[in-house]
Every structure is written in C-alpha cells, then in structure tokens.
C-alpha cells in the first residue's frame, strides 16, 4: 500500500494499457506516460504494438466465446492461462522496447471478454434486471508474471453502480479528448460499434461531463469477420474492405437485419457477439431467401448494416442531421467503404481518424485503459452523463500486487 501511495503522489506515472477485443486479432499493448489526473491529464504514447494471437490462442478462446453453454472446467483453466499468455506478451514488448519491467509503474488490463449479458439481452427469469459481463485473463497472474502492479477487472464497478459494463470509453474520451472548440463524436468501429458524444468543454467541467455519454450502436466488424472466416479460412478479416467493396447491398436482407428490436431500443445500450453472431445473420437470410447470396454482396450488406446502425443511434441521440466532428478508431476505421457509407448517412458531419487528435486509431482503447488505471490510483471519483445516460464514478479496477 505504501507503493500505491507513492504512485498517487508522483507527478507522472508510466503505465502499460492492454486491450484484447472481440475480433481476437491480438493484444494491443500501449506504453504511456501520464501526467496528472482528471481533467488535467496529459498523456504521451511512448510505444505501441499489437501482438498477434496465434491460431491456438484463438481456438482456445472460441471454446467459450459468446457461448451460452461451456465446460466450467475449461473456463476456469482458461482464466489464468490467458493471464499468463498476456504477461509473456507484455514482457516480449518491453524487451523489444528496451524498457525494464521495474521502469513501469502500472499495468492496466482489460482482459478478454468472453460473454456480455446486459439485462435487455439475456432476459433470464432467475436474474431479472441484472447486467453482467465476463472477462478472462487473471490480473494476479499478470502481476506475478510481469512483476508490475496490475489494475484489472474494470467493468464490474460500472455494473455494480447500475451500468451495463460498457462502453467504458466515455471516461477516457472525456478526460483526454474533450475540446472547447468543437462538439465531438468519438466513434469506435471494433467488433461492436460504439460512440462517445463530447460537447464543447467550458469552465464548468461538471456541466460538460453531465452532457457526455456513450452507447453501443450495433455490429461493426464482428459479423464481417465471421463471414470472411467461414468463406475464406486463410483470412482473418476483409483487409481494407476489399471484398465488400466488390459487392452490392441486398436491400431485403438489410431491412430484415435492421428489423431487430435492438436498433429501436432507447439509448444508451450495449450488445455483443452473443446477439450479433452467425445465428442472427443465418436467421435473417433464411427469412429473406438469401442463403445463396454471393459473399461479396453479403459483406457489402453487413457494411451498410454497421453504418446504418451508427447513423440511427447518432440521429436518435443528437439530431436528424447533426453537424459535428467525428473521429474514428478501431479496425473499421481502415475500411473506406464503411467510412463512405457513414458520410452518406451523416452528410453534415466531418469525419477524420483519431490520429488527427494525436491518438493512433489502433492504440486508442489500450490507451484509454492506461488512463483508467491512472485514475484508479491517483484520481478522484466523478460521474459522467445524466439520467439514463449517467455512468458511475470513474475510479474502477481491482489492484493486484506482484508479491
């Protein structure tokens, strides 16, 4: 505890942020220097890498990923195993960067989400109204394996305080990327699409914080990646959306996909591959007789689904034709067809990458978890949003010591 007290008093902290998304492409590792805390936070990204997962890692995670029924033994064993694997990846990055583990103050680990169960989605009669989510990758194994104090299990505090455990980007986006000059929408196009709305900042940061909020909007890459893997086993994803760009949208299938109640539900809301998985797509294809649709047309339709889901949520939250700056991150930020579709749906918005704000789009989520760890150790709790959109105090995460 003495070490934690020391860290809280330091003018800056060196923190590694880790992120492993639903695409299972690899572990994002961001080594950051954070100065101060709260709205005075300044962050420097020193190093960033994505350590690719091998097929064995993906196979093991997919044994439990987004499945209602799994082997409890396998799930129990997978939790420490992922922690061990992530620890080895962190040490490999530090070795490559010529940084000793003793030179790092904190490790911030999101873990690997294997199941997300907001109440609106599971509707289990034994647990009415209960939101839950599960991430694997035990933080104690990370702490012992690296020798670095580890902050993990970030989502449970959000759940306990009445949230759905996601999206957590609101906090980091607000602290790091708010601006007095423009309204901003921070759009993350990962497996699931979500955005954070940031009003212009003013002298009353609490007022600005009460107007900020985040929500999921529907699938981004999760269905696209699943279709690509099913038809092209040698590929992990549709690089730059080239296959989708060769196809055309099927309007009947698109309409059926958009007919799901999620898209009309009130904001904020969360979801995951548990809902937007292959079964959802196969059922829509069966109802529209599009089982034989060429794969390029299927991918083009799924790109349009992602763009439409984002645009509907933005219009529902802000205005029919909002005029604001949109900064994209995540894998979908590299898909020109998706960005063009978003611009078509939201013509008054100006689209750019988060790189324009000094945040590499692939590193953004790992950076945000480093920021959350900084707040857990040195910050003061405060809330963001109001009413249904209010999310609880920012001090999240459980701390694991290496000894």
Query: For the residues of 313-360, what is the DSSP string, one character each?
Result: HHHHHT-SS---EEEEESGGGG-HHHHHHHHHHSTTSEEEEGGGGT--
**Residue with tokens 């209010």, as numbered in its chain:** 390
Q: What's the pLDDT score for residue 45?
A: 97
Q: 353 labelled as ligand-binding?
A: no
Q: Are 274 and 216 in contact (CB under 8 A)?
A: no
Digit-coded pLDDT (tens) for 187-225: 999 999 999 999 988 755 555 667 888 899 999 999 999
Residue 342 is labelled as binding a ligand: no
SS3 state at 228: helix
Mean pLDDT along residues 56-62: 95
Determine the average pLDDT of the residues in 97-106. Answer: 98
Task: Report the greatest alpha carbon distance in the chain.
Answer: 65
The whole-number pLDDT of residue 394 equals 59
CA-CA distance, 52 to 315, in Å (whole number)?
36
What confidence score (pLDDT) does residue 203 get? 55
Q: Are strands 132-136 and 150-152 parallel, antiparallel or unpaired?
A: unpaired
CA–CA separation, 75 and 78 (whole Å): 5
Instruction: Tell me: pLDDT of 111 over 60.
Output: yes
Name the nearest CA neighbour of 77 among 137, 134, 128: 137
pTM: 0.91
Residue 19, beta-bridge partner list: 28
pLDDT-derived band at 392, boundaries 50, 70, 90 = low
The answer to whether 23 is annotated as binding is yes
State yes or no: 397 annotated in a binding site. no
Tell me whether residue 138 is annotated as binding.
no
If one counts every other C-beta atom within 10 angstroms of the C-beta of residue 307, the result is 27
Count of positions (residues) in the chain: 403
Residue 319 makes CB contacts below 8 A (sequence gap 6+) with none
Token pair in block for residue 335: 């898909």
CA dist 393 to 111, 202, 376, Å? 21, 21, 10
Percentage of the chain lying above the pLDDT 90 cut: 69
Q: What is the mean pLDDT of the chain?
A: 91
Check residue 100 and give its pLDDT: 98
How confident is the model at residue 389, as a pLDDT? 52
Q: Which residues make Cβ contacts (< 8 Å) with residue 354, sequence separation at least 6?
A: 177, 186, 327, 328, 329, 333, 360, 361, 364
Q: Which of 64-68, 153-157, 183-187, 382-386 has the lowest mean pLDDT?
A: 382-386
CB neighbour class for 386 (10 Å; exposed up to 12, middle 13-18, buried from 19): middle
Q: At what angle do helices 139-146 and 72-97 cross, to 10 degrees?
A: 30
Nearest residue to 113 (alpha-carbon basis) of 84, 135, 81: 135
| pLDDT confidence tier of residue 387, bands split at 50, 70 and 90 | low
What angle is formed at CA 68 by the lines to CA 65 and CA 70, rounded to 5 degrees? 70
Cα within 13 Å of Cα(208), Cβ side: 22
- Which pair of tokens denotes residue 58? 């993906």
41 labelled ligand-binding: no
303, 307, 310, 316 alpha-carbon torsion, rounded to 10°: -140
Q: Specify the range with the lowest mean pLDDT, choosing from 108-112, 170-174, 261-265.
A: 170-174
Above 60 in pLDDT, residue 22? yes
Residue 335 confidence (pLDDT): 92
3-state secondary structure (DSSP) of residue 236: coil
Residues 6+ apart with CB under 8 A from 101: 91, 94, 146, 147, 148
pLDDT at 38: 86
What is the tens place of the pLDDT at every residue in 133-181?
999 999 999 999 999 999 999 888 888 878 887 778 888 898 899 889 8
Q: Answer yes or no: is 26 a known binding residue.
A: yes
CA–CA gap between residue 66 and residue 172 (Å, rounded): 26
Average pLDDT over residues 267-294: 94
Is 275 annotated to bind a ligand? Reply is no
């Amino acid at each position: 505890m003495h070490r934690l007290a020391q860290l809280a008093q330091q003018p800056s902290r060196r923190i590694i942020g880790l992120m492993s998304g639903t695409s299972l492409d690899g572990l994002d590792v961001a080594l950051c220097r954070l100065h101060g805390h709260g709205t005075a936070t300044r962050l420097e990204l020193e190093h960033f890498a994505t350590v690719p997962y091998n097929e064995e890692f993906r196979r093991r995670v997919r044994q439990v990923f987004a499945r209602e029924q799994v082997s409890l033994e396998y799930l129990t064993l997978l939790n420490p195993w992922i922690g061990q694997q992530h620890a080895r990846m962190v040490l490999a990055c530090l070795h490559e960067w010529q940084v000793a583990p003793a030179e790092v103050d904190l490790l911030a680990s999101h873990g690997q989400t294997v199941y997300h169960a907001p109440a609106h989605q599971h509707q289990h009669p034994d647990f009415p109204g209960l939101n839950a989510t599960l991430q694997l990758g035990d933080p104690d194994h990370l702490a012992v394996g690296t020798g670095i104090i580890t902050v993990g299990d970030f989502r449970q505090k959000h759940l306990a305080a009445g949230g759905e455990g996601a999206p957590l980007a609101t906090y980091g986006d607000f602290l790091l990327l708010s601006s007095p000059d423009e309204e901003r929408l921070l759009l993350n196009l990962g497996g699931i699409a979500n955005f954070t709305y940031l009003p212009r900042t003013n002298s009353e940061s609490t007022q600005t914080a009460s107007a900020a909020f985040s929500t999921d909007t529907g699938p981004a890459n999760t269905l696209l990646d699943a279709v690509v893997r099913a038809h092209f086993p040698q590929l992990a994803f549709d690089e730059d959306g080239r296959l989708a760009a060769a196809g055309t949208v099927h309007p009947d299938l698109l309409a059926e996909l958009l007919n799901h109640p999620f898209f009309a539900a009130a904001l904020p809301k969360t979801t995951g591959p548990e809902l937007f998985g292959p079964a959802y797509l196969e059922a829509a294809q069966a109802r529209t007789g599009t089982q034989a649709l060429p794969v390029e047309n299927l991918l083009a339709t799924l790109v349009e689904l992602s763009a439409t889901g984002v645009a509907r949520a933005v219009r529902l939250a802000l205005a029919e034709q909002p005029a604001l700056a949109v900064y994209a991150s995540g894998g979908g930020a590299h898909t020109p067809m998706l960005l063009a579709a978003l611009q078509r749906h939201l013509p008054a918005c100006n689209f750019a990458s988060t790189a324009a704000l000094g945040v590499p789009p692939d590193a953004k989520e790992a950076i945000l978890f480093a920021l959350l760890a900084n707040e857990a150790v040195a910050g003061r709790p405060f809330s963001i949003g109001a009413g249904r959109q209010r999310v609880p105090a920012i001090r999240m995460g459980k701390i694991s010591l290496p000894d």
